Amino acid sequence: MAEDETAEVRGGTVTSDDGKKVRRVRARDFNKLADEVKQTFN
């Protein structure tokens, strides 16, 4: 399961019944990853 989630985030495309919902979640996860990367480099 974890691998699939990572692949989805990396790919930037997630297929689901509600595209809008997936897009919102994807944006949130992407922002979270960006913050984590910033903290890692800082």
Q: Are 9 and 26 in contact (CB under 8 A)?
A: yes
DSSP designation for 18: -
* Structural domain count, the chain: 1
pTM: 0.34
Domain residue limits at 17? 2-41
Q: What percent of the chain has pLDDT over 90?
A: 0
H/E stretch holding 38 reads: helix 19-41
Identify the pLDDT of residue 27.
72
CA 4 – CA 23 distance, rounded (Å)? 16
Mean pLDDT within 18-39: 74
Angle, helices 19-41 vs 2-11, to 10°: value is 90
